[in-house]
C-alpha cells in the first residue's frame, strides 16, 4: 500500500514537472519570437541600428528592475497567482506593442514586457527546481535548460510560417503567453509552496549567501550575449563570409541544446560544482583555440562544445542553487539569478566590443577567456579556503 502511494506521488510530481516545463517552453517561444520580430519592424520603418539596439535593451532592463520585486510579490499575492497574472499581462503588453507600432512608445512597453515576464520565468524555474527529485535534479534541470534553449530557437522559426507583417506574428506571441498561463493553471494545485511568509529573504540579502554562484551567472550570460553579438564581427577580421559565421552560431546553439542533459547526468555522478568548474575550464580552452581554429574545419566541433560548456556554467549553477536553498530563499536566489543574467548581458558585450576596438579581433576571445579564467581562479581559491 505504501509503495502504491509512493508511486502515485511520483506520478503527480513528474506530471507537475512536465506541466511547468511546458509552461516555460511556450514562454520561451513567445520571447524568442518577439525579439527578431520587433527588430524587423523597426528596420522597415527606417529606424537606425543604434536605436533598435537601445529599444531591445529595454527588455533586459525590465528584467533587472523587476527581479528584486519577485520575492515580495510571491509573498503578497502567492507564487501561483503572481505567475498567472504575469502571463495575462505579458499577452496584454505584447498586444499593445502590436497596436502602437511606434519606436518611442515601444521603449516603455518593452521595459514593461521585461518586467511582467520576469516573475513568470523566475517562479516557473523555482517550481522546476523544487519539484526535481534530488537524485535526479541534474537530468531534470538539463532537460529544462535544453527545452528553454530550444524554445528560444523555435521562436524565430515561427516567423517563417506567419511572416513579420501585420497582426499574425503578434497573435502567435499573444496566444503563446495565454497558452502558457493555461498550462500553468492546469498544474497549479500540484505545485509546492515556495512563497512562505515566515522566512523573508530579499534579493540583496541573498547575494552574500551565494556570491560565487551569482558571479557564474554573470559570466554565463555575458559570454552568451557577447558571442551572439560579436562573433560575426570577429569573423570579418579573417574575411569569413556572414553565412559561414551565422552557421557557426547555429552550431554553437545546437551544442547548447544538445548537451545540457548529458552535463546534468554528469553532475549527478560527480557534483554540480565540479562539473561547473570543468565547464569553465573548457570554455577558457575554447577561447584560446578560437583564433587558431577559426579558419580550419576543426572550428565546427570546437564551437559545438564551446556552446555546450559555456551554457553549462548556468545549468550547473541552477542545480547547485536547488541543492543549497529551499522556500523563500530559493525564490530570492532565482530572482537574483535573473538580475545577474541581465547584468552580465548588459555589461560584458560592451566590454568585449571595447576590447576589440583597442586590440582588434583578438579582444573578443581575450575578454571572454579572462572573465572565465577569473571565475575559475576564484572557485579554486574559495574551495581551498573552505
User: What are the pLDDT digits (tens) for 164-181?
Assistant: 788 888 998 899 889 888
178 and 228 assigned to the same domain: no
Residue at which a domain ends, from 195, 213, 240: 195
157 and 16 assigned to the same domain: yes
pLDDT at 50: 65
Cell numbers given for 156: 524565430
230 and 354 assigned to the same domain: yes
Name residues whose C-beta falls within 8 Å of residue 66's C-beta, 6 or more positions apart in sequence: 114, 115, 116, 118, 119
251 and 372 assigned to the same domain: yes
Residue at which a domain ends, from 169, 195, 221: 195
Cell numbers given for 32: 524568442
Cβ neighbours around 359 below 10 Å, total? 12
372 and 229 assigned to the same domain: yes
Q: Which of 303, 199, 292 is nearest to 256 (CA)?
A: 303
137 and 7 assigned to the same domain: yes
DSSP labels, 147-194: HHHHHHHHHHHHHHHH-SSSSHHHHHHHHHHHHHHHHHHHHGGGSPP-
Q: How far apart are CA 240 and CA 246, in angstroms?
A: 10
Q: Which of 326, 19, 69 is nearest to 180 (CA)?
A: 19
Total domains in the chain come to: 2
Name residues whose C-beta falls within 8 Å of residue 11's C-beta, 6 or more positions apart in sequence: none
Assign residue 284 the CATH number of its domain: 1.20.1250.20
Phi-psi region of 326 (alpha: psi -120 to 50; beta: other; left: phi over 0): beta
Name residues whose C-beta falls within 8 Å of residue 238's C-beta, 6 or more positions apart in sequence: 294, 295, 361
Q: How far apart are CA 276 and CA 280, in angstroms?
A: 6
Q: Which domain holds residue 153?
A: 2-195
Cell numbers given for 261: 542533459
Q: How far apart are CA 75 and CA 298, in angstroms?
A: 51
Q: How far apart are CA 378 and CA 384, in angstroms?
A: 10
222 and 189 assigned to the same domain: no
266 and 158 assigned to the same domain: no
79 and 127 assigned to the same domain: yes
Q: Which helix (H) or strand (E) holds 136?
A: none
pLDDT at 4: 42
125 and 233 assigned to the same domain: no
191 and 210 assigned to the same domain: no
pLDDT digits (tens, 9 = 90+) for 340-383: 988 888 888 888 888 888 888 899 899 999 999 999 999 888 87
219 and 363 assigned to the same domain: yes
pLDDT along the chain (386 residues), means of 10: 47 75 81 78 78 78 88 86 91 92 89 90 87 86 86 78 84 89 84 66 83 93 84 82 79 88 93 94 95 91 93 93 86 90 85 86 92 93 74
Amino acid at each position: 500500500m505504501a509503495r502504491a502511494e509512493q508511486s502515485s506521488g511520483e506520478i503527480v510530481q513528474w506530471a507537475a514537472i512536465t506541466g511547468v516545463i511546458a509552461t516555460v517552453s511556450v514562454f520561451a517561444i513567445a520571447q524568442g519570437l518577439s525579439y527578431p520580430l520587433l527588430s524587423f519592424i523597426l528596420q522597415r520603418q527606417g529606424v537606425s541600428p543604434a536605436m533598435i539596439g537601445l529599444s531591445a535593451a529595454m527588455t533586459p532592463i525590465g528584467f533587472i528592475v523587476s527581479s528584486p520585486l519577485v520575492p515580495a510579490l510571491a509573498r503578497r499575492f502567492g507564487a501561483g497567482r503572481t505567475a498567472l497574472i504575469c502571463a495575462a499581462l505579458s499577452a496584454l503588453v505584447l498586444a499593445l506593442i502590436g497596436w502602437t507600432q511606434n519606436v518611442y512608445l515601444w521603449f516603455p512597453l518593452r521595459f514593461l514586457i521585461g518586467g511582467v515576464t520576469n516573475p513568470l520565468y523566475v517562479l516557473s524555474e523555482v517550481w522546476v527546481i523544487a519539484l526535481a527529485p534530488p537524485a535526479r535534479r541534474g537530468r531534470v534541470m538539463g532537460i529544462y535548460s535544453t527545452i528553454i534553449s530550444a524554445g528560444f530557437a523555435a521562436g524565430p522559426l515561427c516567423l517563417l510560417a506567419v511572416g513579420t507583417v501585420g497582426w499574425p506574428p503578434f497573435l502567435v506571441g499573444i496566444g503563446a503567453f495565454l497558452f502558457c498561463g493555461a498550462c500553468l493553471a492546469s498544474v497549479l494545485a500540484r505545485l509546492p509552496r515556495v512563497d512562505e511568509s515566515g522566512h523573508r529573504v530579499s534579493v540583496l540579502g541573498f547575494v552574500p549567501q551565494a556570491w560565487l554562484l551569482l558571479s557564474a551567472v554573470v559570466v554565463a550570460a555575458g559570454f552568451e550575449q557577447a558571442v551572439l553579438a560579436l562573433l560575426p564581427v570577429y569573423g570579418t577580421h579573417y574575411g569569413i563570409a556572414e553565412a559561414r559565421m551565422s552557421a557557426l552560431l547555429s552550431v554553437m546553439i545546437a551544442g547548447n541544446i544538445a548537451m545540457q542533459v548529458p552535463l546534468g547526468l554528469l553532475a549527478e555522478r560527480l557534483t554540480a560544482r565540479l562539473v561547473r568548474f570543468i565547464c569553465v575550464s573548457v570554455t577558457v580552452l575554447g577561447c584560446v583555440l578560437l583564433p587558431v581554429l577559426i579558419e580550419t574545419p576543426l572550428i565546427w566541433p570546437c564551437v559545438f562544445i564551446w556552446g555546450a560548456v559555456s551554457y553549462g556554467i548556468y545549468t550547473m549553477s541552477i542545480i547547485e542553487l536547488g541543492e543549497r536553498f529551499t522556500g523563500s530563499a530559493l525564490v530570492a536566489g532565482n530572482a537574483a539569478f535573473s538580475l545577474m543574467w541581465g547584468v552580465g548581458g548588459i555589461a560584458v558585450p560592451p566590454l568585449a566590443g571595447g576590447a576589440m576596438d583597442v586590440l582588434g579581433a583578438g579582444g573578443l576571445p581575450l575578454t571572454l577567456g579572462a572573465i572565465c579564467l577569473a571565475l575559475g581562479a576564484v572557485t579554486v581559491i574559495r574551495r581551498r579556503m573552505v
